[in-house]
Amino acid sequence: MKKFLSVLCLSITVSHMALADTTIPWTKAGCESVKGQWITAHSSTDSGCDAAHCNGLSFCKSPQVMTWFSALTWCKSIGHKLVDFNHLCPGIPTGLNGTTGACANVQGISSGWGWTATPRDDRKSFAITLHNGSIDYNGERNHNNVYAICAE
């Protein structure tokens, strides 16, 4: 029993160290150092935007698609967090499921879907289509075809 507890403690310590040993600088070069894609949202002066819906914030998109749980872990592993829906899509009510262009902040800045940390219920979280700005209200967290979108 003593040996089992020692191995368990060592395993937890090593896995914790593996998750916390890389904190990238919040820059394009930092994101690219982990093979991510640095994306900058539209600003309020861009066409189709205003101050209520476009914030010009920058995000780091993972290099590969993954489940929501893996996205959460990937963002933590680089020293940051999975983006909150309201930071990715400011001023947008979460009930606009499937509405093209609903998230003007990130519309057209990249391709693919992006996970947010914002839950819908105990099995689903909101995801955003980066190319057309539509919102997926029913993003099953176990789907493995969505990119992590990390925030500072």
pLDDT at 13: 40
Most confident range (mean pLDDT) of 96-100, 121-125, 148-152 is 148-152
How many domains is the chain built from? Answer: 1
Which residue do the tokens 């979460």 mark? 94
What confidence score (pLDDT) does residue 106 get?
A: 94
Residues in the chain: 152
Whole-number Å distance between alpha carbons of 7 and 9: 6
| Report field, pTM of the whole predicted structure over 0.85 | no
**pLDDT tens digits, 8-38:** 444 444 344 444 558 999 999 999 999 999 9
Q: Three-class SS of residue 71?
A: helix
Residue 116 lies in a domain: yes
Whether the pLDDT of residue 101 is over 70: the answer is: yes
Confirm whether 109 is domain-assigned. yes
The answer to whether residues 53 and 92 touch, using CB atoms and an 8 Å cutoff, is yes
d(CA 100, CA 13): 45
> The domain spanning residue 32 has which CATH number?
3.10.100.10
Q: Looking at the domain assignment, is residue 126 inside a domain?
A: yes
Identify which of 65, 70, 59 has the alpha carbon closest to the alpha carbon of residue 146.
65
Q: Is residue 110 part of a domain?
A: yes
Given a cut of 60, is residue 87 above it in pLDDT? Answer: yes
Q: Does any domain span residue 112?
A: yes
Asked if residue 96 lies in contact with residue 128, where contact means CB atoms within 8 angstroms, the answer is: no
Determine the pLDDT at residue 102: 85
10 HSE (CA, 13 A, CB side) = 6
State the residue range of the domain holding 145: 23-151
- 40, two tokens: 């900058």
